[in-house]
Amino acid sequence: MHMRRIVLVAVLIAALFIAGCAQEAEKPAPTPTEQKTPTEEKKLKVAFVYVSPVGDAGWSYMHDQGRKYIEKVYGVETAYSESVSDADAERVIREYAEQGYDVIFTTSFGFMDPTITVAKDFPNVVFMHCSGYKTAENVGTYFGRMYQARYLTGIVAGEMTKTNKIGYVAAHPIPEVIRGINAFALGVKAVNPDAKVYVVWTGTWYDPAKEKEAALSLIDQGCDVIAQHQDSPAAQQAAQERGVYSIGYHSNMYEFAPKAHLTAAVWNWSVIYAYVIENVMKGTWKPEQIWWGIDKGVVDIAPFNPIVPEEVKKKVMEEKEKYLKHEVPEQYPFVGPIYDQNGNLVKAEGEVMTDEELLSMNFFVDNVVGEIPSSS
Amino acid sequence: MDFIASLIAASIRAGTPLLFATLGEIITERSGVLNLGLEGIMIMGAMTGFAVSLITGNPWLGVLAAGVAGMAMAAIHAFFSVTLKADQSVTGLMLVLLGIGLTGFLGRSYIGQVAAYIQPVKIPYLSELPFVGEAFFNHDPLVYVAMLLVPLTWFFLFRTRYGMEIIAVGENPEAADTLGINVEKLRYASVLIGGFLVGIAGAHLSLAYAKLWTDGMTAGRGWICLALVIFSGWMPQRALLGAYLFGGLDVLSFKLQAAGVGVSYHLLKMIPYVVTILVLLISVIRGRDKFGAPSALGKPYIREQRY
Amino acid sequence: MIKIERRHETPRWLVYAIPFISIAVSLLFVGLLLLAVGVNPVDAYMTMFSRSFGSKFGLTELFVKTAPIVLTGLAVAIPLRAGLWNIGAEGQLYMGAFAASFIALYVSLPPPLVLPAMALAAAFMGLLWASLPGILKAKFDLNEIISTLLLNYVAIYWVDYLVYGPMRGKEVFNFPYSDIFPDFAILPRFFGTRLHAGVFIAIIIAILLYLVIKKTSFGFAVKVVGANPKAAEYAGINRKRIIIYTMLIGGAVAGFAGMMEVSGIHMRLRSGLSPGYGYAGIPVALLAKGNPLAVILSAFLFGFLYVGGSALQTTYSIPVSIVYVFQALIVLFIIGGEFFTKYTIRIRRG
């Protein structure tokens, strides 16, 4: 009797198979990209793959703002998947490619290999990977010089701390995060050489409960300004709860912690998305590695909390002007003298770090307290 | 000293949802029903509590709603386990899937929202005391409710008739049945009570502890509670110790990092489970009678069936 | 009053109808959920079907998702025949993945031997991981549900610990992964899709286990132990040995699933290897009533749910977690339905 049931189910599956094939055959064939009637442009299909929920008020939220922008301004058809883990990324990217999307933005470092792998099978699709470094014929990368904004927020933190202990809740010890910490610390150092930046690793981009716990442990240690490289505002809330200050990240996190939030280092992806879509539409897209800074508006600092004193605001805006007016190299503040935690002079006075050195940064500057866990 | 005081405070904070759920499951299991669905029930409670607090602006309504949601989920388990006499493990596991699935799906719109939260209260005078003030007297009200619940549960189980009947039903349902005790009704009741408490555990998580909602936020706490029930030998007072201990392990890694000491977060996370296994091993090797578990745990009671 | 009565015999049609009715009712429920978030259920279901069955990509993804579930289904089904619940397939999978990764990255062997060595190591590691609960159950009657469950977490955190620590790769920029496996440690893929060789091996294993259960005296002993432990003792069957052996088989199969995932899909060791395949094996085994061939089919059903759910995610931006709701509902309704094969409800007056 078991066999009969098995046969029955097998027949059912076969029936489904046939039905599915028929279904797919009935669907109108997807418009091939080459076909363009002179009067009507085929709508560009753009997909976004996010690593955390869009509502995170952080990383994915800002990317989604960019998506909404190009949808509105360029009239493209967009879709997105959120909370895609690194392990699921290949499947999701592949799905979009299979479904005929023309441009796919993959917005997490961990999506790098899956993007490259899928791109090989779909040479006609444009893939843009955020925060990575691998490119291919149809794969470009894009990122922002967030460290510039981090530096500016570091100035605020350095000025506002009273205990001279500043906490930093950090996700993964990858160069991007380390770079942000260092730039922040350099900003602190510029106005307050006695202050130190304490780093706690959470090991996750997005886990609000963990982020909060990490922030609280820093506050318990005496830190009175909390900064973060995380995708949720949990650390900001922790700061507000305990009556200390905080620096937001990704978006303006003021509404989550109006008493604590001083400013934030924020993204504006619309600039880059607009650039890419325009190029694709005009057929001028090339696989480049886009890395734009505060002067192009890709990164910025959020409006100051009213409690930030005027002199501090002035100092920050002066430094920001230097970027806007190109008075300093793009890599500023990574201009020597820079010392690491062991006191070694990593960059001599006046020497500027190269982009390559920035991209592979794997040490902390001297006023950072914390370890970079490295593979043995 | 300060480090230890803040560690204790953090352990109590982190352990409170564990305590609520463990006490609930102890009651359930004492009646002989194994509810593996804690993770699903807890996260439903977390989402429901958050949602209701968001909509009504009253976190305590949220807590109540979370308890009710927990009861509703548990009712499904009770129906399948007690009335339909189905296998309890499978139903419980399906509750986990159901809970995680439903909350992932329905809870999307609540991510990133700010609801009305439960704030910590400074107990007058006591919270000013050095060391113990910070450690014990500066928590949100639910923490104290959980602590109170420990002796209450103990009293309920071991000193009231209702509670003793529940234990009897869990140890020997046939004998209880012949004594005229309504096995099914008692099991239903204990599963529902348990579910209520687990739902509240979830509400504490989203409204008091983390003060936000995101999918998957229970992060395995439900499973830890199952281990905790075993660890505590089905005794409420041991649950108190276990919950704060396990909660503390969770936060220990960050505290150590912040203090400059590097310890693997994951090895620390393993400890509750390894410890529970050891506890199991020890009590079993010592030959103690079923390591304290209710004898009829996990077996459906069918009146005419002879084993 | 409503009385629940045991049936004397079960109508044949009911036994077959139940899985289908359950699926249909679940579709209804989930359809309501979809409506609640503004998605047309009919459209959604059409999408799920056409995506899974209507394209080369969909079909291969179906196989790719089904293969580990076949294995974990078997890992649960075999002990289930002996009356045991192997809730630990997830942990056994992870441990298998760990062992396979270790061989791939650190043990130098002639390339053609690497994949078989990984498979063997993974199966062995899974077997080891299941042996403890098996022995504890056999010797001390320790509830295997709890012991296997606890070990799951130890295994998952163990792999986390490895990828954040000693096994973290050198070329991964400090991310918590191991390095990518060398080419000869990766299961070959077909048709430019993710369909890898492991899929076929999984089916072969299922067939093999079916034959073992059906044709061998060991298989017979397992069935007896599961149906009636006391009768087994009287028949001279060593119940304790059977318990341990079935757990070992279950662990080995789940361990191999781990190797398959890590070598065929991820190509490195990382956390989050499995979206709950080990747990999916439980309803799969239950639906199949422990029959290894039927496991293949019920695994397909769950694989379809995963793939369909993925299609829903990319098309409607619905979280993948809707798949879990489906899984849970189907199983619950099937269990509920099975109740009606054993009992019937009579409504009497007075």
Nearest CB partner across the interface for C332, out of B34, B80, B304? B80
The C-alpha atoms of residue B24 and residue A232 are separated, in whole angstroms, by 31
B307: in domain? no
Q: Which residues of B touch A61 (CB under 8 A)?
A: 112
Nearest to B74 by CA among B121, B41, B117: B41
Q: Residue C108: which domain range?
A: 71-308
| In the predicted structure, residue C39 carries a pLDDT above the cut 50 | yes
> Measured between CB atoms, does A91 come within 8 Å of chain C?
yes
C330: in domain? no
Q: Residue B19: which domain range?
A: 15-292
**pLDDT computed for residue B127 by the predictor:** 75
B257: in domain? yes
State residue B305 phi and psi, 5-degree precision.
-80, 135
User: Residue A200: beta bridge partners?
Assistant: A169
Global pTM reads 0.85
- Neighbors of chain A with 3 or more C-beta pairs under 8 Å: B, C
Ordered DSSP codes for C270-309: BS---SSHHHHHHHHHHHTTT-HHHHHHHHHHHHHHHHHH
The band of A99, judged by pLDDT with boundaries at 50, 70 and 90, is: confident
Q: Chain B residue closest to C330 (CA)?
A: B94
Q: Which residues contact C283 (CB under 8 A, 6 or more apart)?
A: B90, B93, B94, C298, C302, C327, C330, C331
Element (H, E) at A130: strand A126-130
C57: in domain? no
**pLDDT computed for residue B303 by the predictor:** 66
- Neighbors of chain C with 3 or more C-beta pairs under 8 Å: A, B
Which positions 148-187 of C are in contact with B (Cβ < 8 Å)? 149-151, 153-154, 157-158, 160-161, 164-165
Mean pLDDT of C6-30: 78
B185 or C289, greater pLDDT: B185
| In the predicted structure, residue B208 carries a pLDDT above the cut 50 | yes
| In the predicted structure, residue C316 carries a pLDDT above the cut 60 | yes
| In the predicted structure, residue A3 carries a pLDDT above the cut 60 | no
C297: in domain? yes
pLDDT tens figures, A8-66: 555 555 555 555 444 444 444 443 444 333 334 578 999 999 998 888 778 899 999 99
> Measured between CB atoms, does C231 come within 8 Å of chain B?
no
C109 or B45, greater pLDDT: B45
Q: Which residues of B lie inside 8 Å of A (Cβ-Cβ)? A: 2-3, 6, 10, 14, 108-114, 120, 205, 209-212, 214-215, 217, 219, 250-251, 254-255, 257-260, 262, 265
Q: Where are the alpha helices (DSSP H) in A195-334?
A: 208-220, 234-242, 270-282, 310-324
C28: in domain? no
Which of B100, B109, B111 to probe the A interface (max A CBs under 10 A)? B111
CB contact under 8 A, B215 and C33: no
Place of tokens 């649960």: C76
- A15-24, A80-89, B178-187, C15-24 — most confident range: B178-187
Q: Which residues of B touch C335 (CB under 8 A)?
A: 80, 84, 86-87, 90-91
A237 or C173, greater pLDDT: A237
State residue A359 phi and psi, 5-degree precision.
-70, -20
The angle formed by the CA atoms of residues C191, C102 and A118, to the nearest 5 degrees, is 30
pLDDT tens figures, A120-134: 989 999 999 998 888
| Range in B6-10, B35-39, B274-278, C210-214 with the lowest mean pLDDT | B274-278
Q: Which residues contact B306 (CB under 8 A, 6 or more apart)?
A: none
> Measured between CB atoms, does A57 come within 8 Å of chain B?
yes
pLDDT tens figures, C244-257: 999 999 999 999 99
Element (H, E) at A262: strand A261-267
C332: in domain? no
B51: in domain? yes
The angle formed by the CA atoms of residues B40, B44 and B45, to the nearest 5 degrees, is 115
pLDDT tens figures, A306-317: 999 999 999 999
Place of tokens 């599956």: A13
> Measured between CB atoms, does A71 come within 8 Å of chain C?
no
C304: in domain? yes
CB A172 within 8 A of CB C175: yes
Count of domains observed in chain C: 1
B99: in domain? yes
Q: How many CB atoms lie within 10 A of CB B211?
A: 26
ipTM value of the model? 0.82
Q: How many CB atoms lie within 10 A of CB B121?
A: 14
CB contact under 8 A, C322 and B280: no
Radius of gyration of chain B (CA): 19
**pLDDT computed for residue C348 by the predictor:** 66
What's the residue count for chain B?
Answer: 307
C55 or A101, greater pLDDT: A101
Radius of gyration of chain A (CA): 24
Which of A4, A5, A48 to probe the C interface (max C CBs under 10 A)? A5
CA distance A218 to chain B (A): 6
Q: Is B112 left (phi over 0), alpha (psi -120 to 50) or beta?
A: left
The C-alpha atoms of residue C314 and residue A47 are separated, in whole angstroms, by 9
**pLDDT computed for residue B5 by the predictor:** 85
pLDDT tens figures, C302-313: 888 888 888 888
| Range in A329-333, C18-22, C24-28, C184-188 with the lowest mean pLDDT | C18-22
B106: in domain? yes
C319: in domain? no
Count of domains observed in chain B: 1
Q: How many CB atoms lie within 10 A of CB C241?
A: 13
CB B194 within 8 A of CB B28: yes
Mean pLDDT of B57-61: 92
B68 or C315, greater pLDDT: B68
Strands A289-292 and A45-49 come out as: unpaired
Which positions 3-42 of C are in contact with B (Cβ < 8 Å)? 4, 6, 33, 36-37
Q: Which residues contact B35 (CB under 8 A, 6 or more apart)?
A: B25, B28, B29, B41, B74, B77, B81, B88, B92, B95, B191, B194, B195
CB A262 within 8 A of CB A160: yes
Average of per-residue pLDDT values in chain C? 86
C211: in domain? yes
Peptide bond into C79 cis (omega under 30): no
CB contact under 8 A, C164 and B215: no
